[in-house]
Structure 1
Amino acid sequence: MNTVLLPDAQGGYREYRPNSDPLPPLTCGPARSRTFYAAAHVVADPLSASAEAGPAVDWEATLAFRHRLWAQGLGVAEAMDTAQRGAGLDWPTAAELIRRSAADARAVGGRIVCGVGTDQLQASGPHPIARITAAYEEQLAHSEACGSAAVLMASRALAKAARGPEDYLEVYGRLLRQSSTPVVLHWLGPMFDPELTGYWGHEDPEEATEVFLKIIAEYPRKVAGIKVSLLDADREVEIRRRLPAGVRCYTGDDLHYPELIGGDGELASDALLGVFDPIAPVAARAAEALDRGDAVAFRERLDPTVALARHLFAPPTRYYKTGVVLLAWLAGFQKHFTLLGGLQSARSLPHLATAYELADRLGLFPDPGLAEARIRQLFAVYGVAS
């Protein structure tokens, strides 16, 4: 491998010699000791996408990526934030994504859960609570009709319209009473989406936690689990400790996931993570170590991925999808570095260069030569000789 000059944030360069020892292919069944879901990205179709026509998805490449996740024993969390819900992926396209992915999951016996929200409503709002509830109901019915369990995602419309905790209790209570199968509740923090500030009717995390737990306590048989995406490990541990028996805690903490999944000796989190999209080969190996009861090997595999995760999810955290798709392109899982809505431009070139280096050190690129050639192509577009 040749040395690559990587641009840095100070306007200079550093030399990097690419890794020539990638992780070998892995095919395995689902983990037994934990449930692992990767929130998967979508592959845009750059030849068809236009502002007038709306989002265009490369369905073949998008579904092929999900089959790679299933083959490595990971479940797919579909149409979630990583798939650019509310940031380029509209509800009609998300509905088609859910339909296609759920059908493919059934065909191969893969695990899948699908995101349910209110993003068919006009963003301008505000909308009446009844209309917000109806929007949730439409998406929940679609997910259930496709044969998938649902993740009730946080709603921007509800955050804007709610007068206080009572509106959250009303909306979520109605949805849980009518759901045909238990759902996963998702608490997405404002670091991922600033429009969700004050969710559950309180900006104070302690007060918001009490509302969240009250909903679960009132409908424990309708809540299969919760996904906590607050990037606050201590808060997740507290919530996990207070859950009713049988309600799983899926960590959505892309900064502290090894210790949260590893557990404290009494309780442990399952996982539903956007970072599992790019680090799937390592996550699958870590899951195998847990299944063998080897907690040391689990941490030895997963801990080195945290540097990459913290880089991808650095503020503004909502732009982590840019790095995720970059790595999928460098790995050869798609033919271009394009995101819906043009979000490939959301991160700086030095940020992308570091993402390449950290992922390459982990052996995440099946063909390191291809990854090197493609990162050089990207640098050349920016006028950087590498």
Structure 2
Amino acid sequence: MTSVKLPKADGTVETYSLTGTPTGRPAAVPTFNRIAYAAAHVVSDPGHERDPWNRPAIDWKATMGFRHHLWSLGFRIAEAMDTAQRGMGLDWTGAQELIRQSLTEAKTVEGAYLACGAGTDHLSPAETRTLDDVIRAYETQVSFVEKHGGRTIMMASRALARVARSSDDYAAVYGRILGQTKDKVVLHWLGDMFDPQLAGYWGGDTFEAALETVLSIIADNRSKVEGIKISLLDNAREIELRKRLPDGVLCFTGDDFNYAELIEGDGERHSHALLGIFDAVAPQASKALAALASGDTATFRAVIEPTVPLSRKIFEAPTQYYKAGVVFLAWLNGHQNHFTMPAGMQSARGIHHYADIFRLADQANVLDRPDLAIRRMSHLLAVNGIE
């Protein structure tokens, strides 16, 4: 079976025939000349759901299995980040178990590397009153990660965005936390397109003002900052940050619209990667990054550039619902046996969105098992009244 009936925007249905070729797996774990984190999703356990919106059940075996898939392709894992539905289905209690299990699992894999998101999401923004509340919340989560042997990615805080009144407040909070961490930390600049509650983060109304605050915080805490992930979906802004970072502080692209060109670089500077899209296109990104490391930029471009239109569709506005597309592809490719997400987040996108992802995934050679993908897509369409 090589075709499926897909809905079109005009209300008609077309017979779509697959043209893609599955990407082969490397014979051994590849090496890259860019640091490449894949932010990994979590897998629901629909057979044990009782209260999916408030206390979703997680399939820990499948969730850990997907991390082994990423490690086998050469990726570092960014754990318990927004791709894992942090704050949108996975609360701090669930995140603690995810961090514990992932760090334990990483010890069983030679060369496995994992860094964990630490934020303030157990603190209700509406109930936050002072900067000290935010500091204590960060301390709780950072100390948990460190206690279990993890490295920290310092996530943006909704609570801090609510109570901070100036850039000085951000400097005070970040300075306090960075002054206490055992190891170097990756900072996380997440734009409000990913989380509307982060509007005005860093205490400025403009990118230029926010940039000055970020650079000042990094300069004041340089010995504790490995790098910063920037997720603004604007390559010009990332390039501006990148060229102004101090020597030895890394720029990690979180730009799921422009990652190909940012990772390749301009001959003088390049970005490393911490990307949610790498969860969905891991075999293709791995092949491309390995080619780049060997100096084969033609293959890098040929493999990774077709994934960019797919990523732009997955991350289209409202961008915060991109997790649905990531998990959809994991299901199509056989990494899980259902398309159910914590808090029922699969309902955040409509059937036309999923049909577009299917087409673009085929064109980017992302459908690993075409027959399975067609069967599962057909089932999803039938549930939505399209047969």
Would you call these one fold, judging by a TM-score over 0.5?
Answer: yes
Shift, 1:294, TM fit: 1.6
Shift, 1:52, TM fit: 7.7
Equivalent residues of 1:27, 1:72 under 8 A apart: no
Write the letter of the residue equivalent to 1:263.
Answer: G
Write the letter of the residue equivalent to 1:67.
Answer: H
Equivalent residues of 1:28, 1:73 under 8 A apart: no
Moved more, 13-22 or 98-107: 13-22
Partner Cα separation in structure 2 for residue 87 and residue 159 of structure 1: 17
Shift, 1:53, TM fit: 6.1
Equivalent residues of 2:280, 2:326 under 8 A apart: yes
Secondary structure at the counterpart of residue 272 of structure 1: strand
| Structure 1 counterpart of 2:316 | 314
Write the letter of the residue equivalent to 2:72.
Answer: A
Write the letter of the residue equivalent to 1:172.
Answer: Y
Partner Cα separation in structure 2 for residue 81 and residue 32 of structure 1: 24
Match of 2:242 among 240, 249, 252: 240
Shift, 1:118, TM fit: 0.2
Partner Cα separation in structure 2 for residue 79 and residue 52 of structure 1: 18
| Structure 1 counterpart of 2:32 | 32
Check 1:52–1:329 CA distance in 2 against 1; reply closer, same or farther (3 A cut). Answer: closer
Equivalent residues of 2:125, 2:162 under 8 A apart: no
Moved more, 42-51 or 346-355: 42-51
Partner Cα separation in structure 2 for residue 19 and residue 201 of structure 1: 48
Long gaps (5+) in structure 1: none
Match of 2:268 among 259, 266, 269: 266
| Structure 1 counterpart of 2:91 | 90
Percent identity for Structure 1 against Structure 2? 51
Secondary structure at the counterpart of residue 47 of structure 1: helix
| Structure 2 counterpart of 1:120 | 122
Shift, 1:25, TM fit: 2.5
Secondary structure at the counterpart of residue 276 of structure 1: helix
RMSD: 1.3
After superposition, residues 1-386 of structure 1 pair within 5 angstroms as 1-19=1-19, 21-49=21-49, 50-51=51-52, 54-108=55-109, 109-385=111-387
Check 1:123–1:162 CA distance in 2 against 1; reply closer, same or farther (3 A cut). Answer: closer
**CA deviation vs aligned residue, 1:202-242 (integer Å, no higher than 9, x gap):** 12111011001100011111000100001111111111111
Long gaps (5+) in structure 2: none
Check 1:125–1:10 CA distance in 2 against 1; reply closer, same or farther (3 A cut). Answer: farther
**CA deviation vs aligned residue, 1:79-106 (integer Å, no higher than 9, x gap):** 0010001101000110110111111112
Equivalent residues of 1:18, 1:372 under 8 A apart: no
**CA deviation vs aligned residue, 1:325-362 (integer Å, no higher than 9, x gap):** 01000100001101111110111101001111211222
Equivalent residues of 2:2, 2:370 under 8 A apart: no
Shift, 1:19, TM fit: 3.9
Partner Cα separation in structure 2 for residue 127 and residue 231 of structure 1: 31
Secondary structure at the counterpart of residue 24 of structure 1: coil
Check 1:93–1:267 CA distance in 2 against 1; reply closer, same or farther (3 A cut). Answer: same
Moved more, 5-14 or 18-27: 18-27
**CA deviation vs aligned residue, 1:271-302 (integer Å, no higher than 9, x gap):** 00000001000110011111111222211111
Shift, 1:370, TM fit: 0.8
Secondary structure at the counterpart of residue 63 of structure 1: helix
Work out the number of aligned pairs and report it.
Answer: 385
The TM-score, its normalising length taken from structure 1, stands at 0.97
Secondary structure at the counterpart of residue 360 of structure 1: helix
Partner Cα separation in structure 2 for residue 220 and residue 53 of structure 1: 39
Shift, 1:144, TM fit: 1.1
Shift, 1:123, TM fit: 4.2
Check 1:44–1:255 CA distance in 2 against 1; reply closer, same or farther (3 A cut). Answer: same
